[in-house]
Structure 1
């Protein structure tokens, strides 16, 4: 008989899938991100309260009637955030479902270009590059898509498809310039993209003063309306949300597959992690830079097309509205993950939509929304601060497992 040693320790088992999920949820990046948003909203509430004249008046006689201060503070913050909620998700005071959901439609409308442009920044981040030029790429995408939309007469399906593709091509060309300069000359992408942002803005202003782009009978810089056959159709009646939102979600799915399932995605991530090692392994680092910026430009061009064909339906000098810079924030909040970028885009779209209602109903400055966005990014960039404030324990690194245990650290 074979002897069994009684002192042999039992084989250690790794955590189950459920335990790993809960550990990641409570100690990982997801919890830090959620708490960053919560903390930003709390600080925003403090700013709302101290800027409200009612709260200031009640503070003047605090020791006489302290309850008035607390009541005024609660009322001020509650009214502001209730208006923010009503303006971004659902207005229960409306008498039809369509009108009640109009605020959520406005949120998705605002989120559409943010998602597409955020993906343009995120994919560059994953390759170790900083695409600060999403603003210019959005403008070029809008120029190409808008011109294709009002200058040509095509059948409805062909026209809208051609206009969207034109916008994607416009963004790809503008970002491709950065990729080529980076690959051929080593020019820093941050400097080049910032300069191209300015060139794109002045180019749009110039074109809107030409006969080819200026609306007949108008002297101000504005283009003709995009033909109905080239407009992105509305998804919900009585709202502005259009098919561009579905294209942005489709783009996120494609980028997720590309980064996590394709050979090209592996190459992008390898170059982003260590370009020298990738070069030693036989990968073309310079070629990867060009590919990354072309892909980023396509995504930003899609954002521009959604603005020109779906939201504004014409060109004007402020069509981008600084969305390219907000896209950097969205990509950071989404941690350069495609689905995280989608969630961050919807959150920022809700803040934009709700901020207008909040200002109209309560008088709270819409600049508060910008403060909250900045605070979110600040806290996202400083995870140790969030962990210290909320006393979140740092997840311990798992021991390196052998092949027989089936998982590794």
Structure 2
């Protein structure tokens, strides 16, 4: 199947998965809505869907809301990073689920540097974010080495590692780091020069981290599709045994893909912390890693499409929050939508007949082109 038809198939499959997810969401809203009649429930459902699909960036009077739009852009930042991390790891057929713990660890390490390490000017946030990224990348060596050397499931290891990270951070916060003068478990405030510059001063907390996220998207896309290392990662993901027989260092590539994923997740955590917070108080998994998996699936593991998928998920998340506020529908509806999208993408047989038709059609066209070429060549002779 040629690239054009492969892209069409991916778009159709994604659109159908999203459409089915939204249809299921509408049915659940209808069931849970209040009303004595079918018409009343239908109106309540339509009102809820309006809150979810329109109000994130439009006011009640229909005018465009710059604040709402920048809120969505700000919410995209961490899930762009976890989406990129997941893209790299999944492209190598490494189902590492450690982005959730990775973004938490990156945020924690960045916060420690931002609180306790005295550095001048812009050097502080740079060093803090890099420290979070490096520590998280090193943490990813655990599931990576176990997979590469002992063939231990990276999925199980990384999933368990998420909880180890969370509980170690909880212990350290409660026992050593938390500011006892505060009413909640949190660090002391970051140093003043640790905060990332804001792109727009309207309360949305859209920081320069958004620009960094887009730049990293371009870098990772070029790395994956314009370098031999990226080619090796994708080839191992397609056929690991063939890659090994062709001379690729499979062990090194498996480790490299997961370490890069850790670096990206940790960087995302640090940028999110310094861009939108004044202290660290994450005592539970923030959820960005799981959303990043959905983003990577929607993007087809192609880093270039991650920002678009991240915008969609951030938009829906804000819409569900507004819907829970104004229409009394639980905000957890976004989790149901994510789960349904993941389910349809994970099902290999979803639209398999349509894919088979595209493959056959491409093969027939290629055969006809060869026959025409052979006929023309024969007539010339």
Displacement after TM superposition at 1:240 (Å): 1.8
Distance 2:153 2:212 in 1: 31
Distance 2:343 2:183 in 1: 43
Structure 2 unaligned blocks of 5 or more: 374-381
Displacement after TM superposition at 1:279 (Å): 1.6
Q: Which moved more, 1:292-301 or 1:394-403?
A: 394-403
Answering whether residue 37 of structure 2 is matched by residue 58 of structure 1, we say: yes
- Picking from 109, 121, 130, the partner of 1:165 is 130
Displacement after TM superposition at 1:393 (Å): 8.8
Structure number with bigger Rg: 1
- Residue 394 of structure 1 corresponds to which residue in structure 2? 357
Distance 2:255 2:371 in 1: 38
- Picking from 43, 53, 62, the partner of 1:85 is 53
| 3-state SS in 2 of match to 1:154 | coil
- Picking from 289, 296, 306, the partner of 2:254 is 289
Distance 1:182 1:127 in 2: 12
Distance 1:278 1:132 in 2: 24
- Residue 236 of structure 1 corresponds to which residue in structure 2? 200
Displacement after TM superposition at 1:193 (Å): 0.8
Displacement after TM superposition at 1:311 (Å): 2.3
Q: Are residues 91 and 240 of structure 1, via their aligned partners in 2, closer, same or farther at CA, if it must alter by over 3 Å? A: farther
Q: Which moved more, 1:146-155 or 1:294-303?
A: 146-155
Distance 1:380 1:195 in 2: 24
Distance 2:60 2:128 in 1: 38
| 3-state SS in 1 of match to 2:279 | coil
Q: Are residues 402 and 266 of structure 1, via their aligned partners in 2, closer, same or farther at CA, if it must alter by over 3 Å? A: farther
- Picking from 23, 26, 43, the partner of 2:24 is 43
Displacement after TM superposition at 1:127 (Å): 0.6
| 3-state SS in 2 of match to 1:172 | helix
- Residue 379 of structure 2 corresponds to which residue in structure 1? none
- Picking from 229, 238, 246, the partner of 1:273 is 238
- Picking from 245, 262, 275, the partner of 2:227 is 262
Distance 1:173 1:24 in 2: 36
Answering whether residue 322 of structure 2 is matched by residue 341 of structure 1, we say: no
**How many equivalent residue pairs?**
366
1:55-101 deviation per Cα after TM superposition (whole angstroms, max 9, x unaligned): xx114xxxxxxxxx2xx344223211221234422325499x7xx22
Structure 1 unaligned blocks of 5 or more: 1-14, 60-68
| 3-state SS in 1 of match to 2:119 | coil
Higher helix fraction: Structure 1 or Structure 2? 2
Displacement after TM superposition at 1:169 (Å): 0.9
- Picking from 310, 323, 343, the partner of 1:378 is 343
Distance 2:250 2:179 in 1: 45
1:120–1:131 contact (8 Å) kept in structure 2: no
1:88-99 matched pairs, under 5 angstroms: 88-91=56-59, 93=61
Displacement after TM superposition at 1:141 (Å): 0.7
Answering whether residue 163 of structure 2 is matched by residue 195 of structure 1, we say: no
Answering whether residue 188 of structure 2 is matched by residue 218 of structure 1, we say: no
Q: Are residues 162 and 383 of structure 1, via their aligned partners in 2, closer, same or farther at CA, if it must alter by over 3 Å? A: same
Distance 2:253 2:351 in 1: 35
- Picking from 82, 85, 106, the partner of 1:117 is 82
Distance 1:377 1:129 in 2: 17
Answering whether residue 233 of structure 2 is matched by residue 252 of structure 1, we say: no
Answering whether residue 43 of structure 2 is matched by residue 75 of structure 1, we say: yes
- Picking from 309, 326, 333, the partner of 2:291 is 326
- Residue 66 of structure 1 corresponds to which residue in structure 2? none
TM-score with structure 1 length normalisation? 0.82
Displacement after TM superposition at 1:243 (Å): 1.7
1:87–1:355 contact (8 Å) kept in structure 2: no
